[in-house]
Amino acid sequence: MRKRLGLQRPIASPRQAYSLLEVALAVALVGGTLVPALRVVRDGLELSRTTDRHQLLANFAVAKLEEQLGVIATTWTSGQTTGSFTAEGFASLRYVAVRSDSPADGGIASRLMNVTVTVFDDANTNATLDAGERNTVFRTKVARLATYVAS
């Protein structure tokens, strides 16, 4: 400490450490803000995984729908196709594709074909779509026009 002349008090040196109370308050403040922030991150990651899975179902459904449109363009035959995406690395994903020109299915015999593709996440691996399993359905109709028919 330096000495001063007169009746003035000596200058105190700066503090060297925090008190226990200050440390406890800092920990409580950080803990109180960190826990909700981590909860938001966790919920965001879960939502991201769900969104990615739905997007995957939609992508595979569109691919199978386009495949069925190719079958219709070449043969104009009704039918149902089922399968899985094991070859693509997604063994739990399965699909059902239905082509029909029956009026009961929304078609017109030999003139309009209804195509429906359902892709689902087969959680219980029983190869059928059950209630509660994620699924995506795409459907379209294809007209049999003279310009599409080979001579």
Domain parsing of the chain, residue ranges: 20-143
Tens of pLDDT, residue by residue, the chain (151 residues): 555 566 666 676 677 788 999 999 999 998 889 989 999 999 999 999 999 999 999 999 999 999 999 999 888 999 999 999 999 999 999 999 999 999 999 999 999 999 999 999 998 989 899 999 999 999 999 999 877 665 4
d(CA 25, CA 130): 53
pLDDT of residue 16: 79
Residue 140: partners with Cβ closer than 8 Å, 6 or more residues away:
65, 69, 114, 115
Side by side, which strands form the sheet with 135-143?
A: 79-85, 90-100, 112-121, 135-143
How big is the CA angle at 88 (ends 86 and 94), to the nearest 5 degrees?
45
pLDDT value at position 6? 60
pLDDT at site 64: 98
